[in-house]
Chain A
Amino acid sequence: MTMVLLIEQILNGLQLGVMLFLMSAGLTLVFGVMGLINLAHGSLYMVGAFACAAVATATGSFFLGLLASLAAAAAAGAIVEMTVIRRLYARDHLDQVLATFALILVFSEGTRWMFGSFPLFLDVPDLLSGPISLPGGIQYPLYRLAIIVVGLCVAAGLFWLIAKTRLGIRIRAGESDRDMIAALGVDISRLYTIVFALGAALAGLAGALVGAIQSVQVGMGEPVLILAFVVIVIGGIGSIKGALIGALLVGLTDTLGRALLPTVFGYFMDPINATTVGASLASMLIYILMAGVLLWRPSGLFKVA
């Protein structure tokens, strides 16, 4: 493996990590503030991708599509929060798991009803298509670089929002003592709706960004959802910082594992077995990572008090 290839793979891992961060940020916020496990978070990712594909096809503009994905996912999130999720805050995790599992079914089949069973078309905008040359002779897709930049900007914005704004203060207060901030006159149910819609919008954005280089189809949110859970558990549930570190860790582990393990096994196995065994182990690697982290720190890397 050459240095150039290694750097390219690290960039790929970074890009996957940034995308996972967009997904996990909402998940971890919703858990931290409202104490809710939301299995339907992946459906909001799907909603974002479908909205972007539909609007981009209708208007011809990918960026209008991105706006639509934010709006659609936030709206879907707010509606679901007000009709269903709101009734689950006081329930135990079991009821939350079942109810949001039911929401996945409703969202997936509802989308299939509206858009049909075939994948939708969504492509990288012309402005960002193709590769660019980086120093050191690395050819890298511009669009993936753009995802990294957007993701890091969102992360910075989110940290600023939580650390510096009034909304952020309320969110942090909500994480440490729900009853107290309600007693202090904060409209708690509105705060919850806003936080949920914010998380949903981020998931929708991730779906739209990734939809352009993957396939926009029903069920696309489920594999990502599982990864996002792995991320927030590794990072420590409720911690935005943890979600960022966890996302990058998972992104890099997964990408580098897939790239390196078959080669590593090739040193002491015959090539056919090495590719099979390497690929198998690579697919289990992030779960092994997660189990390892939890055994070392049973509440994740950055535990919220």
Chain B
Amino acid sequence: MQRETWINLAILLGLILVPLWAVVMDEPFTITLTTKVVILALAGVGLNIALGYGGLVSFGHAAFFGVGGYAMGVLASHAQSYTPMQIGALEVEGTKSMLIIWAVAIVFSGITALFIGALSLRTSGVYFIMITLAFGQMLYYFAISWPAYGGEDGLSIYVRNGFPGLNTLDPIQFYCICFVLLCAALLVSARLSSSSFGLALHGARQNAERLEAVGVRPFKLRLTAFVISGMITGLAGALFADLNRFVSPTMFSWHTSGEIMIFVILGGVGRLFGPVVGAALFILLEHWLGGISDFWQFYLGLILLAVVLFARGGVIGTLAGREVAHD
């Protein structure tokens, strides 16, 4: 087995052992923190498909994260107040069922990604980075000034949504849900990377002309990857909203896009487990440094800088060596 595979297994083991330890020691907050890592990692896994496999540097993935979050917020707030929502002549009941919320989050973030991707993929390079940022900002300002669902105040959901057979308010049970979804997304990501679609996508990143010469349209490939990527990040947004029982426009802000991107780069671009390591490291640093100094972001900046300058290929790239680097 390659070294990266061992590392990946160690990470998975860590994600199982840490919460188990927390249950034994009765440290519910550690479980909450690990849940946050898992959910943000899921968002990163989504971005990694566009960014790592497709070479599409999206600076606007907060758009999908936010759409997923608001799917949960809107549906659950209608269910909470027992008022159906009016879409034209149609009356739709809200819901507190996670399964339905996930489906809605995935579908709507997919539609958003299809729309944004179809327009943005006409550009490339820095222009692509910036136009995705622009779409993210558009949704951010829309969410702030849209009074129906709380505007800048956001929406509070008092009780976490339900999942058949589980008590989602129990931190460890909610963690299990998120962990299983992360594993599923990692499986999708791994299968995608080695499928013929994934190979073509890698090809489009490395040399688009050659691909076109053999009759494959890179645009279609990229758009598909972008939509899948957006759907996974949207699902993560719905889970994140459920973790906090709260949604707000900050989910759409460019800082969120930047952070999701940092998870991917920190862990290692294009590495299957890169986003997981990146998210874990980031959250760990945030909590550790935050306890030391009011000016902890100063140190966080220095550490991030050191990683970029001296640990190329992110954490996994440094640990596993370059032998399986993506190009």
Contact = CB atoms under 8 A, between A and B. Distances in A.
A287 interface: yes
B304 to A, nearest CB: 4
Which secondary structure dominates where chain A touches chain B?
helix
B244 interface: no
Interface in A64-106: 84, 87-88, 91, 93-95, 97-99, 101-106
Contacts of A291: 119, 131, 134-135, 138
A105 B269 CA distance: 22
Interface string B53-84: 00001010000000000000000000000000
Contacts of B164: none
Residue picked from B119, B265, B308, most chain A C-beta under 10 Å: B308
13 contacts: A37-B129, A84-B309, A87-B309, A93-B129, A94-B51, A94-B57, A101-B262, A105-B298, A106-B301, A109-B301, A226-B137, A291-B131, A299-B123
B207 interface: no
Which secondary structure dominates where chain B touches chain A?
helix
Interface string A273-305: 000100110011001101100110011100000
A290 B126 CA distance: 14
Interface in B290-317: 295-298, 300-302, 304-305, 307-309, 312
Residue picked from B51, B125, B269, B309, most chain A C-beta under 10 Å: B309
Given A105-B298, A295-B119, A97 B141 contact: no
B308 A300 contact: no
Contacts of B135: 287, 291
B291 to A, nearest CB: 16
B235 interface: no
B302 A106 contact: yes
- Interface size on B, as a range, is 35 or more
A106 B305 contact: yes
A230 interface: yes
Nearest to A111: B298
B126 A31 contact: yes
The 6 nearest A-B residue pairs measured at CB: A105-B301, A280-B145, A102-B304, A109-B298, A106-B301, A287-B134
A94 B301 contact: no
Contacts of B137: 226, 284, 287
B57 A93 contact: yes
A108 interface: yes
Interface string B115-156: 000010011111101110111011001101111000000000
Interface of A: 31, 37, 84, 87-88, 91, 93-95, 97-99, 101-106, 108-110, 112-113, 226, 229-230, 233, 237, 276, 279-280, 283-284, 287-288, 290-291, 294-295, 298-300
B295 A113 contact: yes
Given A97-B261, A106-B305, 6 more contacts: A37-B129, A105-B297, A109-B297, A291-B134, A295-B119, A299-B123
A99 B145 contact: no
B129 A299 contact: no
Given A105-B297, A284-B138, A84 B127 contact: no
Given A84-B309, A290-B134, A93 B304 contact: no
Contacts of A230: 130, 134
Residue picked from B125, B146, B304, most chain A C-beta under 10 Å: B304
Contacts of A283: 141, 144-145
Nearest to B296: A109
Contact of A95 (B126, B296, B308): B308
B125 to A, nearest CB: 8
Contact of B126 (A91, A93, A102, A113): A93
Contacts of B307: 98
A98 B260 CA distance: 11
A233 B135 CA distance: 14
